[in-house]
Structure 1
């Protein structure tokens, strides 16, 4: 008689456990482990800093993408923000909005909100084909949008994205970022738009250590 073979799978939380998890806290832990780079770096704003938030190490990670999307959707629900689509500037926003779109579909099947399509914003209109600057949505069917970026420092890339979508006739329902470095950008954005961040830079640096960041 052939012996039985038992396949033992890794411990994976059931769907219900995932759905009741504290996505924001788990995302914070992951960002602290994977996305803090220590050392002298030049920021997009031109300023120098002793540390850098490289959120793409988290937002392009399978678990990180999952957690980011849920945390963003929870934030939108918490503040009652309704939108037809979510997009943002290249390239930091691109993995975020793709994950949000996918997870919003899964949540809608469970009666939690409705699907939130994603769109991408080019720095310049495409030089061939349909010559679009906003990709992924039919502008005639969209009105209210959320603009998101991974990190807000001076806010320049976000402001450029906002100008592009408003010139296309879209209404900005809210502006989000994963991390607010509190370096002036969020103050500029709040002058005209509802602005929310999942974390401040100080929150992420609070318990992060060089050894933890370097071990990613």
Structure 2
């Protein structure tokens, strides 16, 4: 497999298959937001696999604003994504650093919310997310970045659960760029079952 693989229909289909078989479940679930759902999406089995991460990094990189200096993601789901996208960018000759947004400030030392090579204030950063449901996690990361003096215009996610998150993100003046929507993942799951 070419490490500089550009996403195409074949790689997109392969990634969708991986998500439908390894990240998606049907049943009765309570989500992090407290809402009940018949659908559960945990992208970590895909984003922490070599093949899944390679496919994700290339597809996400194509959706990063060309003027972005860094990508940032909320720990834990965002950790592999920002690292892989930054590496994929370097492999294409583009400088793009990775930042991790903590869920709580560090309890010692500098009490930092952000980890990684901090770019100059006023630069553009794109937020990466695994799953968007209500948008709260993504918007919390955006707010931390804005408070630190950065500019954020968009959030790139693997799966949009289509439960109001995109609307909340738009209310915040941001664009949500999704690789897949829950309807598409659910449909593929049924086809493969």
Same fold (TM over 0.5): yes
Aligned equivalent of 1:105: 90
Separation of aligned partners in 1, 2:122 and 2:44: 28
1:27-53 deviations in Å (ceiling 9; x for gaps): 112111211122211111111111201
CA radius of gyration, larger in: 1
The 5 A counterparts of 1:163-202 are 163-191=143-171, 192-202=173-183
The number of residue pairs the alignment matches comes to 191
Structure 1: give runs of 5+ residues left out of the alignment: 1-12, 109-113
Corresponding residue number in structure 2 for 1:204: 185
Instruction: Between 42-51 and 141-150, report the one with greater CA deviation.
Output: 141-150
Going from structure 1 to structure 2, the CA distance change for 1:88 and 1:19 (only over 3 Å counts) comes to closer
Unmatched 5+ stretches in structure 2: none
Candidates 2, 18, 25, aligned match of 1:37: 25
Q: Does 1:143 align with 2:131?
A: no
> In the alignment, is residue 59 of structure 1 matched against residue 47 of structure 2?
yes
- Contact 1:85–1:142 (CA under 8 A) maintained in structure 2: no
SS at match of 2:34: coil
- Residues 210 and 44 of structure 1: CA distance in aligned 2, closer, same or farther (over 3 Å): farther
- Alignment correspondent of 1:124: 104
C-alpha distance in structure 1 between counterparts of 2:2 and 2:132, whole Å: 35
Matched, 1:28 2:16: yes
CA distance in 2, matches of 1:45, 1:127: 25
SS of 1:91's partner is coil
Q: With structure 1 as the length reference, what TM-score do the two structures score? A: 0.81
- How large is the Cα RMSD of the aligned pairs? 2.0
User: What is the rounded CA distance, in whole Å, between the counterparts of 1:41 and 1:49 in structure 2?
Assistant: 5
The answer to which structure has the higher strand fraction is 2
Corresponding position of 2:35: 47
Check the 8 A contact 1:81/1:173 in 2, yes or no: no
Tell me how far 1:97 sits from its aligned partner: 0.7
State whether structure 2 residue 72 is matched by structure 1 residue 87. yes
The residue matched to 1:95 in structure 2 has which SS? helix
